[in-house]
Structure 1
């Protein structure tokens, strides 16, 4: 059974994650997190002695875990890496559009706001991106992409999707995400099935 303290700690991280997505890291105050989580005052420093920075790290780690799970599920359900990318982007598109373009990737938000201000937050964001790039690279390699190309291609895939989320929010349109999925899927197909033969 999960303890009351553990539930409060998890609820605080969840609230921080949601508020970062809608208000940004800088725009999210600790009082807002406490109110959103319906947590006792003082609970943040009890569970996160480093205060807002520690809570921000926890939120980034939570976002990383969720998107990594999305990648894993997409890879398991799809018939190949191109299909997996399309499936993952479709899930992201639903999140962005159903929130009326208010929700995006909290990791990119924290990176842009705090990457130059907090080494701890920058490292948490770098770890999050790596947790998405590494399994994507492994899946690409298992699908026929040469080992020395899989990491580079995986980095392009993740970077392209991240950028498309930002542009979609700015334009209030899912077209950037749809276009990104099309281009990335085509690139993956070319690498997995190069002209003139297979790897």
Structure 2
């Protein structure tokens, strides 16, 4: 393997992740990925012999795992869980506005696009979402010991976040994310209150 190969592969992965996130699967061409990565077109097939589908699956799984870790780290950055949830949504609102409403969830654009058209990518997005639900459920279980209630909160967190991203991007307004954060904080407060009784 040449000295520059790991760097080239990383540039291709990074460019693909950004472009799939912003433009979806159909709206992202391999020539554009190569150009954005400043890589020879043939190098995509060198690293990803399965072409666009393999590159998209890699981007979904890699970016999905990184995003999940980032959200958990953000949730852990504030000691009070209710405040932490509100803070996470506020941070998402600020970050989305700062990117001109271009960078929301790293897999949602592709997930909604391929759900009925590409089973390999549908499975990849479903598995990433399932990992997020599991990890968030474990996080909520620290304050809500009932596993069903903790898992329900995890689903609510992801659904609120994903839905708010769509509304905020469409309106070019961070307010839906802030409203979703307040709603999620209230759900968690109520669940903790039930646990304390």
- Which residue does the alignment assign to 2:182? 182
Q: For 2:141, what is the secondary structure of its paired residue? A: helix
Please state if 1:66 is matched with 2:66.
Answer: yes
What is the number of equivalent residue pairs in this alignment?
Answer: 196
Following superposition of structure 1 onto structure 2, how do residues 13-92 of structure 1 map, counting pairs within 5 Å?
A: 13-92=13-92
Deviation at 1:143, TM superposition (A): 1.1
Deviation at 1:109, TM superposition (A): 0.6
TM-score (norm 1): 0.91
Q: Given the superposition, is the C-alpha separation of residues 169 and 94 from structure 1 closer, same or farther in structure 2, using an over 3 Å criterion?
A: same
Whether the 8 Å CA contact 1:34–1:40 is kept in 2: the answer is yes
Deviation at 1:66, TM superposition (A): 2.3
**Counterpart Cα distance in 2 of 1:137 and 1:39:** 40
The CA RMSD measured in Å over matched residues stands at 1.8
Q: For 1:25, what is the secondary structure of its paired residue? A: coil
- Which residue does the alignment assign to 2:196? 198
Deviation at 1:3, TM superposition (A): 5.2
The answer for unaligned runs of 5 or more in structure 2 is none
TM-score (norm 2): 0.92
- Which residue does the alignment assign to 2:10? 10
Say which is worse superposed, 46-55 or 2-11, in terms of deviation. 2-11
Deviation at 1:184, TM superposition (A): 0.5
Deviation at 1:95, TM superposition (A): 2.4
Say which is worse superposed, 153-162 or 29-38, in terms of deviation. 153-162
